[in-house]
Amino acid sequence: MENLKFKTNINCTGCLSKVSPLLNQVKGIKEWDVDLNNSQKILTVKSNSIKEEDIVNMVKKVGFEIERAK
């Protein structure tokens, strides 16, 4: 299983409610979480099969900024 990490601007529970339905429906994602306490609002995605660019495109589609965390 791969852990993908992204910096985002998902910064509150309201933001989470917008992105949750999208990330919850993706079959390749086993688990995901956004660390709202981290200044970079790190989204961690545990997956066996989803591509990094697919996650980026999905999150941008609902209006959030996202980039791969270094």
Q: Which of 8, 20, 1 is nearest to 68 (CA)?
A: 8
Checking if the pLDDT of 8 tops 90, the result is: yes
Report the percentage of the chain scoring pLDDT > 70: 100
* Long-range own/partner contacts, residues 56-63 (CB < 8 A, 24 or more apart): 56/6, 58/22, 58/23, 58/26, 59/6, 59/8, 59/10, 59/19, 59/22, 61/22, 62/18, 62/19, 62/22, 63/18
Domains in the chain (CATH in brackets) are: 2-68 (3.30.70.100)
pLDDT digits (tens, 9 = 90+) for 34-57: 999 999 999 999 998 889 999 999
Q: CB within 8 A of 25, min separation 6: which ones? A: none
